[in-house]
Amino acid sequence: MTQVDVLLGLQWGDEGKGKIVDVLSPQYDLIARFQGGPNAGHTLEFDGKKFVLNTIPSGIFNEKTMNLIGNGVVIDPIILKRELDNLKAAGHDPVGKGKLAIARKAHLILPTHQLLDAANEQKMGKDKIGSTLKGIGPTYMDKTGRNGLRVGDTTLPDFKERYNKLVQKHKDMLSHYNFEYDLTEKEAAFFEAIEFIKSIPHVDSEHYVNGFLKEGKTVLAEGAQGTLLDVDFGSYPFVTSSNTTTAGACTGLGIAPNKVGHVYGIFKAYCTRVGGGPFPTELDNEVGETLRSVGHEFGATTGRARRCGWIDLPALKYAIMLNGVTDLIMMKADVLDGFDSIYACTHYEHNGETIDYMPYDIITVQPIPVLKEIEGWKTDVTKITAVDQIPAKLADYIAFLEKELQVPVKFLSVGPDRTQTLELN
């Protein structure tokens, strides 16, 4: 029997998961998204075209690969329909080609979940999480609170009554906020989209994925967000509302832990974060500005400027431990091409001590990064196509990271295009 490989982000999201899932997808029979929702924005570039996927797995552009939206994902039917309409207009029709299935047990994001997200953030003022305002938190709250509506419910004769009951609860909650809203247009779009998603095959993801494994087929689980946004282990409360770690792939698809094979941990050669919360290596200066402009660090979903900083090794070690990472993938090395020196945080100074882990009180007492200087390679790497063309100083940087992190770097990405990817070792 085959096992499920997992690919997930090791930082605060936007590491380049979409690009690499697309690159790896020819090796897999099934690509399955396991958590998060349209807060994700996964960018793919090939043949001079660029696509941003929010809910749809990034295997969609590979002719032979099947794609599944797993039970751990929260689905906004309006956004999913828009994504599929846009893809169709661009000549890609995964539904028509039978290349997309959706888990019956995946929860639905209602228009009122988005209103609650916005009302809550507005109330928090300067302490807000910096949510993408897609209704993620309130939808997972209804899931764990056992009130939620699921994809499978849309075919029940009393779906509308169930919807009205939940919306009434949300309206009661909204009455406690000073928050203006008009639901009419959104509700009409919601029910139109619900009709549309009935045309996508609904499956039990646990049987579906295990069925692939029994037949000896290959499966890649695609994560969203990043480990440091995990609801249990991230910088709580500045996190998302799902388990973004390998454990989330088990609950988000219905696979047992012993069915997990390779775990690909993906990280940028530096670090970014969008939204609020601690970020020890943040560069709130010209250097950060340079990383942002060279790396085009603006959110794929919200367009917000991403906060930028140096690579954080204590945070990466933590993420590798939590996920059982077997292979590392380093992204956006090209963004550092012009730097004379780059820096890596090896430890933190925290409450008078030197530590090499993320402390519990990171929210209240920001640790001070201890940085190691690394000589830059000062070479354009965007056109290199073979391992022997990697500049010696970039190779040294990779070797340094492998030694620190004790996991091999299997792929190196030197540009946003599919072709700008090198397999190492």
Would you name the residues annotated as active-site residues? 14, 42
Determine which residue in the list 16, 36, 38, 41 makes contact with Mg ion, applying CB under 5 A.
41
What whole-number distance in Å separates Cα of residue 187 and Cα of residue 176? 21
What whole-number distance in Å separates Cα of residue 52 and Cα of residue 58? 9
* Nearest to ligand IMO of 267, 397 (CB atom): 267
How many residues form the binding site for ligand GDP (CB under 6 A)?
24
* Nearest to ligand IMO of 42, 107 (CB atom): 42
CB 134 within 8 Å of CB 117: yes
CB of 421 to ligand GDP, least distance (A): 8
Of 93, 138, 89, 96, the closest CA to residue 118 belongs to 138
What whole-number distance in Å separates Cα of residue 332 and Cα of residue 306? 15
Determine which residue in the list 119, 193, 200, 229 makes contact with ligand IMO, applying CB under 6 A.
229
* Nearest to Mg ion of 117, 297 (CB atom): 297
Within 8 A by CB and 6+ apart from 206, the residues are 71, 253, 254, 255
Residue 104 found at the interface with ligand GDP (CB under 6 A):
no
Of 254, 257, 152, the closest CA to residue 211 belongs to 254
Q: Where are the alpha helices (DSSP H) in 239-303?
A: 246-253, 286-294
Residue 413 found at the interface with ligand GDP (CB under 6 A):
yes
From 41-49, 76-84, 132-140, 313-321, span contacting ligand GDP (CB under 6 A): 41-49
Determine which residue in the list 5, 6, 9, 220 makes contact with ligand IMO, applying CB under 6 A.
9
Kindly provide the residue ranges of all beta strands, DSSP E only, lying in 64-130, ordered along the sequence: 66-69, 74-75, 100-103, 107-108
Q: Count Cβ atoms below 10 Å from residue 373 Cβ, excluding itself.
A: 10
Instruction: State which amino acid sits at residue 384.
Output: I
SS3 123: helix
Site residues (CB under 6 A) for ligand IMO, limited to 12-71: 12-14, 39-42
What is the DSSP annotation of 202-238?
EE-HHHHHHHHHHTT--EEEEP-S-GGG-TTTSSTTS
* Nearest to ligand GDP of 18, 275 (CB atom): 18
Determine which residue in the list 6, 9, 14, 422 makes contact with Mg ion, applying CB under 5 A.
14
CB of 157 to ligand IMO, least distance (A): 33
- Draw the binding track, 312-351, toward ligand GDP (x: CB under 6 A; -: no contact): -------------------xx-xx----------------
How many residues form the binding site for ligand IMO (CB under 6 A)?
23
What whole-number distance in Å separates Cα of residue 413 and Cα of residue 357? 27
CB of 194 to ligand GDP, least distance (A): 27
Of 82, 80, 78, 100, the closest CA to residue 90 belongs to 82
Q: Which residue is nearest to ligand IMO (CB)?
A: 275
Q: Which residues bind ligand IMO (CB under 6 A)?
A: 9, 12-14, 39-42, 129-132, 134, 136-137, 224-226, 229, 240, 274-275, 300
Binding footprint of Mg ion on the chain (CB under 5 A): 14, 41, 300
